[in-house]
C-alpha cells in the first residue's frame, strides 16, 4: 500500500488549503498584486506542497488595516471549525498590515486550531519554531509600513488642502459633487437647496421649519449644511481654514450673517412655534424673569411673570415678585405702535449719520462689565449664592458681546445686520395686514431686542 505523503506531521493527501488573496484599491493593478497573479502563484505553490484540495478566499478592494473583511471572516470561521489545514498567502502584508491582527490570526486562530500558515514571499511556514519566530519579526515591519503609509497620506492631504484642492474621496458635502480629474468640488442640483437654507434662515425661519419645507429628514441635517464653511468656498482641515479652488454656493458675507444669527438664536434659545406675536421677547421689569402668554378666561391672554408660576422652578428669579399681569393685546398694541413709529423715522432719517456699531457694542460691554463688578461686590458682602447664578448669566452675555465686537471689527457683520433689520421693517405699517404671523414675528424680532414690562409700563429695547 502506498504510504500517504506527510509534512511536519500533516497528511498532505487530506490537506485542505485556504488560498487567501487581498487586493487594496491602490495596489490593485500593480504587478504581482492583482487577483489573477496571486491566484496563479498560490495554486502552483499549494500543488508543489502536494495539496490537492484548496479554495480561494478573495477580498477585493479592502484595506489591510483591520480584519473587517468578508472573506477574512469566512477564513477565520473555517479555521476554527477545522475545515482547513493550511492558509497560504503570497505575502505577509496580504493577510494584515497590523502587527496586533497578524499575531492574533497566527497565534490565536491558526496555531490554536492546528492550521499551518505559509507565506510564499517570505519563504516560511508556522509549522516550525523558526517560522513562528520570523512571522513575529516581519509583522512588526508590516505595522511600521502601515504607519509610514498613513503619515505619507496625511502629509499629502495637507499639501492638497493648502493648494485649495478638496480632500478627495467620500464625505462630499451636500450640494456638491467631487470632480476626480480637477480634484475640486463642483456644485450640483442640490446647491439650490443649500442657497434656500441660508435664505430662509436669514428670513427668520427655524431649522425645523426649513427641514420640513425642503423635505430634509431631520433638523440636525439642516444645521450641518448651514454651518459648513465649504459652502462659502473654504476647506476646513484639522481645524484650520484654507481657501478652496471650488465655486462657492453662497457668499462669505451670507455665511457670516447666518453664523451670527445662529449664535444669536443659540444665546436666546428661542424657536418660533406659536402664533403669539411676542413670545420669547417679554421680561419682567421687577425681577428680570421671562414673561409668558397665559390664557385668562374667555377674554384673551395676559402676560404672567415666570417667578409667579410654579411649573418651571428653574425660571423663577424672585418667588415674591408682585408684578402686574397686563393683557397681551395691550402690550402688543404698544409695541407695534413703537415699531411703526421707528419705521417712519427710518424713512425720514435715511440720510442721517451712521452709528458706529463697534462703539455701541463696546458701550454695552462696559455697562455689563460694571454690572458684573457690582454683583461680585454684593456677593462679597452678603455671601448670597443666588447672586452667583446671575453673575454666570452676565458673564456668558459678556463673552457673547466680546465675540460680536470681534466679528464687527473684522467684517462689520452687525452693521450689515442692522441694515437688513431696518430694511425688513421699512413700510411695515402698510404691509402689516398682508403679512403671515410668521412674517410678523420675524419683522418684530428684527427690530426688537427685548420688551420690559413693569406693572402697566412697557419699555421696548430695540436692536438699533
Q: What is the pLDDT of residues 418-440, one digit of tens each?
A: 565 566 666 677 777 777 787 78
- pLDDT tens-place string over residues 211-264: 888 888 777 888 889 999 999 999 887 778 889 899 999 999 899 888 888 876
Size of the chain, expressed as the number of residues it contains = 464
In this structure, are residues 6 and 12 in contact, taking their beta carbons and an 8 Å threshold? yes
Q: Which residues sit opposite 290 in a β-bridge?
A: 283
User: Has residue 170 got a pLDDT over 80?
Assistant: no
Q: How high is the pLDDT of residue 83? A: 93
| SS3 label, residue 52 | coil
Least confident of 58-67, 144-153, 160-169: 144-153
Q: What is the mean pLDDT of the chain?
A: 80
Cell 439650490 sits on residue: 192
3-state secondary structure labels for all residues of 5-26: CEECCEEHHHCEEEEEEEECCC
- pLDDT tens-place string over residues 96-120: 887 778 878 887 898 889 899 888 8
Confidence bin at 3 (pLDDT 50/70/90): very low
| SS3 label, residue 180 | coil
Question: In the predicted model, what is the mean pLDDT of residues 32-44?
Answer: 83
Burial 174-185 (b: 16+ CB within 10 A, else e): bbbebeeeebbb
Confidence bin at 401 (pLDDT 50/70/90): confident
Pick from 134, 142, 100: which is nearest to 117 by CA?
134
Beta-carbon neighbour count of residue 207 at 10 Å? 23
The continuous run of DSSP H or E covering 295 comes out as: strand 291-295
In the residue annotation, 328 being an active-site residue is answered as no
CA-angle at 285, arms to 281 and 286, nearest 5°: 140
**Mode of pairing for the β-strands spanning 448-454 and 16-23:** unpaired
Q: How high is the pLDDT of residue 304? A: 94
The continuous run of DSSP H or E covering 308 comes out as: none
CA distance 169 to 178: 8
* All cell numbers assigned to 386: 443666588
Beta-carbon neighbour count of residue 426 at 10 Å? 15
Q: How high is the pLDDT of residue 422? A: 64
Radius of gyration of the chain (CA): 35
CA distance 449 to 328: 18
Confidence bin at 404 (pLDDT 50/70/90): confident
- 150 vs 80: which has the higher pLDDT: 80
Q: What is the pTM of this model?
A: 0.38
- pLDDT tens-place string over residues 252-310: 989 988 888 887 666 554 445 567 889 889 999 999 999 999 999 888 899 999 999 87
- pLDDT tens-place string over residues 182-204: 888 999 999 999 999 999 888 87
φ, ψ (nearest 5 deg) of residue 52 = -95, -30
User: Has residue 168 got a pLDDT over 90?
Assistant: no
* pLDDT > 70: percent of the chain: 78
CATH numbers and ranges of domains, the chain: 6-153 (3.40.50.1390), 176-268 (3.90.1750.20), 282-462 (no CATH)
Amino acid at each position: 500500500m502506498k504510504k500517504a505523503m506527510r509534512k511536519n506531521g500533516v497528511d498532505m493527501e487530506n490537506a485542505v488549503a485556504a488560498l487567501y488573496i487581498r487586493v487594496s484599491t491602490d495596489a490593485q493593478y500593480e504587478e504581482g498584486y492583482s487577483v489573477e497573479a496571486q491566484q496563479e502563484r498560490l495554486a502552483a505553490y499549494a500543488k508543489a506542497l502536494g495539496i490537492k484540495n484548496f479554495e480561494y478566499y478573495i477580498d477585493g478592494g479592502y484595506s489591510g488595516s483591520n480584519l473587517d473583511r468578508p472573506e477574512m471572516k469566512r477564513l477565520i470561521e473555517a479555521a476554527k471549525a477545522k475545515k482547513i489545514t493550511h492558509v497560504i498567502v503570497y505575502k505577509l502584508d496580504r493577510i494584515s498590515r497590523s502587527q496586533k491582527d497578524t499575531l492574533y490570526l497566527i497565534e490565536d486562530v491558526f496555531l490554536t486550531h492546528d492550521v499551518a500558515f505559509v507565506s510564499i514571499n517570505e519563504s516560511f511556514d508556522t509549522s516550525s519554531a523558526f517560522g513562528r519566530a520570523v512571522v513575529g519579526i516581519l509583522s512588526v515591519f508590516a505595522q511600521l509600513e502601515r504607519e509610514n503609509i498613513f503619515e505619507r497620506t496625511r502629509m499629502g492631504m495637507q499639501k492638497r488642502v493648502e493648494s485649495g484642492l478638496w480632500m478627495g474621496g467620500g464625505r462630499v458635502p451636500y450640494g456638491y459633487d467631487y470632480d476626480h480629474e480637477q480634484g475640486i468640488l463642483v456644485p450640483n442640483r442640490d446647491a439650490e437647496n443649500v442657497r434656500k437654507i441660508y435664505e430662509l434662515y436669514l428670513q427668520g425661519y427655524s431649522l425645523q421649519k426649513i427641514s420640513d419645507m425642503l423635505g430634509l429628514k431631520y433638523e440636525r441635517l439642516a444645521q450641518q449644511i448651514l454651518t459648513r464653511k465649504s459652502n462659502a468656498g473654504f476647506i476646513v482641515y484639522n481645524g484650520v481654514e484654507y481657501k478652496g479652488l471650488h465655486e462657492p454656493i453662497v457668499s462669505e458675507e451670507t455665511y457670516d450673517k447666518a453664523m451670527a444669527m445662529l449664535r444669536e438664536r443659540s444665546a436666546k434659545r428661542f424657536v418660533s412655534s406659536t402664533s403669539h406675536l411676542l413670545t420669547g421677547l417679554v421680561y419682567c421689569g421687577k425681577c428680570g424673569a421671562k414673561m409668558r402668554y397665559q390664557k385668562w378666561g374667555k377674554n384673551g391672554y395676559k402676560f404672567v411673570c415666570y417667578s409667579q408660576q410654579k411649573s418651571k422652578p428653574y425660571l423663577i428669579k424672585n418667588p415674591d415678585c408682585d408684578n402686574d399681569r397686563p393683557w397681551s393685546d395691550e402690550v402688543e398694541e404698544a409695541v407695534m405702535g413703537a415699531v411703526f413709529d421707528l419705521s417712519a423715522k427710518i424713512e425720514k432719517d435715511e440720510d442721517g449719520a451712521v452709528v458706529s456699531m463697534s462703539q455701541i457694542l463696546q458701550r454695552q460691554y462696559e455697562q455689563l462689565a460694571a454690572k458684573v463688578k457690582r454683583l461680585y461686590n454684593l456677593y462679597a458682602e452678603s455671601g448670597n449664592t443666588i447672586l452667583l447664578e446671575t453673575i454666570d448669566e452676565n458673564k456668558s452675555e459678556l463673552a457673547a458681546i466680546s465675540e460680536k465686537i470681534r466679528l464687527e471689527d473684522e467684517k462689520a457683520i452687525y452693521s450689515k445686520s442692522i441694515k437688513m433689520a431696518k430694511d425688513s421693517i421699512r413700510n411695515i405699517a402698510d404691509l402689516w395686514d398682508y403679512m403671515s404671523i410668521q412674517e410678523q414675528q420675524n419683522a418684530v424680532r428684527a427690530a426688537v431686542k427685548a420688551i420690559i414690562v413693569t406693572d402697566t409700563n412697557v419699555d421696548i429695547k430695540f436692536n438699533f
